[in-house]
Amino acid sequence: MNIENIEAFVYVIHYGSFNKAAKALFLSQPSVTARIQSLERELDCKLFDREGKKICLTEKGKQFLPYAQQILHFFQRGKLQLQQKKAVPHELRLGCTVSVSNYLIPELLPKLKEKYPEMNFKLTTASTDEILTKVLNKEIEIGFVRNVTHSSIDSIKFYEDPIRLFVYENHPFIGAKKLSIEMLANQKFVFFECGALDWMQIYRLFKCLGQPPKIEYHVDNLETAKKLVMKGSAICFLPELCVRQEVREKKLFPVDIPELTGVTLQTNIITLKGENTGVYKSFLELAEVWSFRD
């Protein structure tokens, strides 16, 4: 049975005339008439009677109408579902750095799941360079990385996280009204590296001192850095987002150094040029309306 014939039948009933139904379907009236006649042959019954210029359903037409409406309804729903699946892949492959995986993704994915309940998310954690390569090779669709540029990708700022100095409980800096970078000269530091923190932005500021900062611990793990500070072993510059729970629980304490104001860790969202999907745009919308900080 031809779905176009059923569609013409339902439209004629809805608009009350062959002419109006033809206009709604962007067809000629003879084309609509031909479709109704074809449907009548398939059903082996007459569907309409004419009373002057008016048309009305026959008894057989009245019996068939609810089935025709249901057939058309399910066909349109099925067509819409297929179109949505074309626009939104069933599986979205994401790549992100360790800090994004730990502190941003758990906030983001539940929001995306609400909007795309049928979608599965596959997450790969790697360095910025590795994620960029995977995007270029089409191994992942969307990446969350440090601020990078490449001629074949679109890269847009997603989130900017202030880098602040964090100290342990009872540290003399807590509550101090005036702190300067000179006061850091004799402090013991944890240096957290491996691409998660652009230490060079801060290190340059120490050039004005007579001696470099006393870095007693080099670590490549954020949780290790935090625990060293909480145990009172040293102090550390960290992205604000990653320590919000410890700050809330009063295990770590942020202190502000005026010379360091404006130093941030930027996370960008990247895709191949020309492949900005609806999900990609949804991530950008979340960046505008969703707050990751308390």
Q: Domain of 15: which CATH number?
A: 1.10.10.10
If pLDDT is split at 50, 70 and 90, which confidence band does 293 have?
very low
| Domain termination residue (choose one: 42, 66, 87) | 87
Domain co-membership, 120 together with 197: yes
- Is the Cβ–Cβ distance between 158 and 267 less than 8 Å? yes
Same domain membership, residue 211 and residue 102: yes
Do residue 142 and residue 232 come from a single domain? yes
100, with CB counted inside 10 A (0-12, 13-18, 19+), is buried
pLDDT in tens, 79-111: 776 765 555 557 888 999 888 888 888 888 888
Q: What are the Cα distances from residue 91, in Å, to 86, 113, 119, 124, 231? A: 12, 12, 6, 13, 42
- Boundary of a domain, candidates 24, 55, 87: 87
- Indicate the pTM of the whole model: 0.60
- Whether 72 and 143 share a structural domain: no
Q: Are residues 73 and 96 in the same domain?
A: no
Q: Both 263 and 280 in a single domain? A: yes
What is the predicted pLDDT for the residue at 284? 72
The reply to whether 158 and 208 lie within a common domain is: yes
Same domain, 189 and 282: yes
Of 87, 104, 128, the residue that ends a domain is: 87
Cα separation, 96 vs 44, whole angstroms: 62
* Statement to judge: residues 121 and 177 lie in one domain: yes
62 and 107 within one domain: no
Task: State pLDDT tens for residues 166-175.
Answer: 999 999 999 8
Domain of residue 192 covers 88-294
151 & 161 share domain: yes
Give the residue ranges of DSSP H helices in the chain. 3-15, 18-24, 29-43, 59-87, 98-103, 105-115, 128-136, 199-203, 222-230, 244-248, 278-289
pLDDT (0 to 100) of residue 65: 93
CATH number (domain holding residue 218): 3.40.190.290
